[in-house]
Structure 1
Amino acid sequence: MTESRAITAYIAQEYADKGAQLVYTTGKHLPTYLIWLEVEAHHFNPASSPLVWEQYYKPIMGIPQDTAAIEEHETKLAKVLDVYEKRLAESKYLAGDNFTLADLHHLPNISALMGTPSKKLVAARPHVSKWVADITSRPAWAKVLALQNQK
């Protein structure tokens, strides 16, 4: 599936009357929400995706890991998570006190990373750790994981 961020934004807006409000389209939270969507896409994802590849997928496929790439991207992700730690000291979720797509878009990589040695980067940051525990324990995410495990 390509352009998953656009797809989730469309679905969240199209079905806004069903379930949790995952997007802000107006109001005081809109700028913060938009910023954190961008932070995830342009800072978190580029730092975390190579770690997921190296530490999650490569072992499954029997491909040797690149330790230099792991070290490089752990350093990058640590800097990103330092910013998250500061933000999450101020609010429960990235865009405020409500779970939004700004949080949801982190779930695939965060979930995979928590099964790798890079989980230490989360564990070292108490507010990030609490946020990760919250978003990964959501019932809808448990359903996603259950569907993945059926394959």
Structure 2
Amino acid sequence: MAIKLHGTILSPPVLRVVTCLKEKELNYEFVNVNLQAGEHKQPHFLALNPFGEVPTFEDGDLKLFESRAITQYIAHTYVDKGTQLILPDHKKMAIMSVWMEVEAQKFHPAASKLSYEIVIKPLLGMKTDDAVLAQYEEQLGKVLDVYEVRLKESKYLGGDCFTLVDLHHIPIINYLMGTKVKALFDARPKVSAWIADILARPAWAKVQELLKQKLGTFK
């Protein structure tokens, strides 16, 4: 049975899974979920994700939600396909797991809040809250200071090769690079070089092409 990914293509968590699938060179079916129409709150969708959020994922009779859990499943199950996104050594994998938690617990809360304030709100005709923006810029800056030190020790956050850790950052960073928050990344040389590296990956270029196609389809 084919892999199915349910979501909306503009969602960073959905794009996180799409990027993983592209890195692993896996075929899949994308099932668009119309959030504006409330499709994610309908019984058929809640059967896939009881929280009514995207993405949801199917691989045969397996049903998953939460993007990072999905990418870990893909990386472990299809380890022989495409890019190796996990590390075989247990100690290296443990270090990688630490930085995956850092992304989820430290980086993402600040970055997603900034994205909402500076990207999403204007699109919805809402005014950016400058006080909130300043608060989360400071918070993200502190996280990036830690990243700068880490990236002096290894080429990527999880180790010496590209892994799920780096992949998980890509969608939200891509959004922020088109905003004034880019200055936070540019001010840190190692972070800036790392971002240039991960955003230049062929798999991400394929995701961007898909974005263009899907956005044209959904107009």
Task: Give the TM-score, by structure 2 length.
Answer: 0.67
Paired residue for 2:154?
A: 91
Query: Tell me, what secondary structure is at the counterpart of 2:175?
Result: helix
Q: Which amino acid aligns with 1:16?
A: V
Paired residue for 2:97?
A: 34
Alignment gaps of 5+ in structure 1:
none
Paired residue for 1:57?
A: 120
Once the 2 structures are TM-superposed, how far is the Cα of residue 25 of structure 1 from its aligned partner? Answer: 4.9
Paired residue for 2:72?
A: 9
Q: What pairs up with 1:76-115 in 2 under 5 angstroms?
A: 76-115=139-178
- Sequence identity (%): 55
Q: CA RMSD in A?
A: 1.1
Larger RCO, structure (CA 8 Å, separation 6 or more): 1
Q: Which amino acid aligns with 2:94?
A: P
Cα deviation, 1:66-119, whole Å, max 9, x if unaligned, reads 111110000000000000000001111011111000110001111111011000
Once the 2 structures are TM-superposed, how far is the Cα of residue 121 of structure 1 from its aligned partner? Answer: 0.4
1:149 and 1:113 map into 2 onto residues whose CA distance is: 18
Once the 2 structures are TM-superposed, how far is the Cα of residue 61 of structure 1 from its aligned partner? Answer: 2.2
Q: Which amino acid aligns with 1:146?
A: E
Q: What pairs up with 1:113-124 in 2 under 5 angstroms?
A: 113-124=176-187
Please identify runs of 4+ aligned residues in structure 1 that moved more than 4 A. Answer: none
Task: Give the TM-score, by structure 1 length.
Answer: 0.96
Once the 2 structures are TM-superposed, how far is the Cα of residue 64 of structure 1 from its aligned partner? Answer: 1.1
Larger Rg: 2
Relative to total residues, which structure has the larger helix share, 1 or 2?
1
Paired residue for 2:59?
A: none
Paired residue for 2:191?
A: 128
Relative to total residues, which structure has the larger strand share, 1 or 2?
2
Aligned residues: 151
Change (3 A) 1:149 1:60: farther
Q: Which amino acid aligns with 1:83?
A: V
Paired residue for 1:22?
A: 85
Once the 2 structures are TM-superposed, how far is the Cα of residue 63 of structure 1 from its aligned partner? Answer: 1.6
Q: Which amino acid aligns with 1:90?
A: E
1:63 and 1:135 map into 2 onto residues whose CA distance is: 31
